[in-house]
Amino acid sequence: MKKQFVKTSNYERFRTGISAVENRGAAEASLMLVTGEAGYGKSATVDQWAIQTGAAYLRAKVEWTPRYFMTELAESLKLDSRGRAKDVFGRIAGFIGGQQIPLVIDEVEHCLRDNAQVLEAIRDLSDLTEVLVVLVGMEQVQARIARHAQISSRIAKVVTFMPATEDDVLITCNQLAEVKIANDLVMEIHRQSAGRMREIMNAIATCERTAHRNGTDKIALSDMAGQTLTHDWQARRPRVIKQAAGAR
Same domain, 41 and 151: yes
Residue 237 maps to a domain: yes
Closest C-alpha to 18, from 135, 132, 164, 183: 132
Residue 91's CATH number: 3.40.50.300
pLDDT digits (tens, 9 = 90+) for 148-188: 999 999 999 999 999 999 999 999 999 999 999 999 999 99
Domain total of the chain: 2
Q: What's the rounded mean pLDDT across residues 204-233? A: 91
pLDDT score at 247: 42
Same domain, 156 and 206: no
Same domain, 15 and 123: yes
| pLDDT score of 209 more than 50 | yes
- Spatial neighbors of 157 by CB under 8 A, at least 6 apart, are 17, 20, 21, 32, 33
Same domain, 29 and 141: yes
Q: How does 106-127 read in b/e, with b if 16+ C-beta sit within 10 Å?
A: bbbbbbbeeebebbbbbbebbe
Share of the chain above pLDDT 70, in %: 96
Residue 4 maps to a domain: no
pLDDT digits (tens, 9 = 90+) for 5-63: 999 999 999 999 999 999 887 777 899 999 999 999 999 999 999 999 999 999 999 99
Query: What's the distance, Cα to Cα, between the start and end of the chain in Å?
Result: 27
pLDDT score at 245: 42
Question: Mean pLDDT over all residues of the chain?
Answer: 92
pTM for this structure?
A: 0.89
Same domain, 136 and 221: no
Residue 2 maps to a domain: no
Same domain, 170 and 127: no
Q: How confident is the model at residue 244 (pLDDT cuts 50, 70, 90)?
A: low
In this structure, of 36-40, 66-70, 83-87, 233-237, the range with the lowest mean pLDDT score is: 233-237
Same domain, 203 and 180: yes
Considering only residues 120 and 228, tell me which one the structure prediction assigns the higher pLDDT: 120
- Strand, helix or coil at 151? helix
Range of the domain at 203: 166-247
Same domain, 128 and 220: no
Same domain, 92 and 149: yes
| pLDDT score of 134 more than 90 | yes
Q: How confident is the model at residue 208 (pLDDT cuts 50, 70, 90)?
A: very high
Among 160, 188, 214, the domain boundary falls at 160
Among 160, 180, 210, the domain boundary falls at 160
Same domain, 44 and 126: yes
